Amino acid sequence: MDAEPDVASLFAPVAVEETFDGVLTEARQVLGGLDDPVDAELWGSDLIGALASSAAGQSSLMNTLTGSLVPAAETASTPEALALLRVFAAVGSPALRAAAGQAAARLRDDTEREAARDPRVVFEMIDAAAARLRLERAISAGECPEQPDQVDDVVAHRALLRARLDLLAAQG
C-alpha cells in the first residue's frame, strides 16, 4: 500500500512563496483523485497547516497565500490551479476565501470564453424543467459502463442521480 506523502515535510523548510510548484504538483496528484468535496477541503486544511510551519504566523501565511499563491494559481490557469483556488475559497481566512473565490470565478469566465471559440463546445443555461427532461432521457437510455470502476461508480451514484432528478422535478 502506498503511503500518503507527509505534506508538512514537503513544505516546512521552504519559504511559502517558493512552494507554488510543489503545491500545484500536490494539488494535481491529490485533488484529481478525490470525489468528495469534503476530502478536498480536508486536504486544503492540511496544506495550510503544513505551510504554517514555514510562515511567521497564521496571519502572515494567509496574507502570503492571498497575495502570492492566489495570483500565481490564477496565472497558471490549469485545472489543478482552479481546484486549489476552489479549496482555498472554502477553507481559508475570510480574505483568502474572497480572493480565491474571485480568482476561481475569473478562471470559470476565461474557460467559458475559450470554449465559446470552439464550435464543438456548447454552454447554455437551462431551467430545471429542461434539466429534468435531459436527465430523464439519459437515465432511460440505460447505463453503459465500460470499465470495472465505472460499474462501481454507476452503482454508487445511482441514489444521488435519483435524488437530483426528484429535486429537479420539485423545482420545475
Determine, yes or no, domain membership for 123.
Answer: no
Same-domain status, 91 and 12? yes
Alpha-carbon distance 38 to 108, whole Å? 21
- Asked if pLDDT for residue 52 goes beyond 80, the answer is no
Q: Which of 27-36, 39-48, 51-60 has the lowest mean pLDDT?
A: 51-60
Same-domain status, 92 and 165? no
Is the full-model pTM beyond 0.75?
Answer: no
Determine, yes or no, domain membership for 2.
Answer: no
Q: Which residues contact 122 (CB under 8 A, 6 or more apart)?
A: none
Number of structural domains, the chain? Answer: 2
Same-domain status, 32 and 72? yes
Q: State the alpha helices, DSSP H only, in 32-122.
A: 37-52, 58-64, 70-76, 79-91, 94-116
Same-domain status, 14 and 45? yes
- Please give the grid coordinates belonging to residue 101: 473565490
Same-domain status, 16 and 96? yes
Same-domain status, 86 and 156? no
Same-domain status, 111 and 53? yes
Range of the domain at 165: 128-171
Across the chain, mean pLDDT equals 81
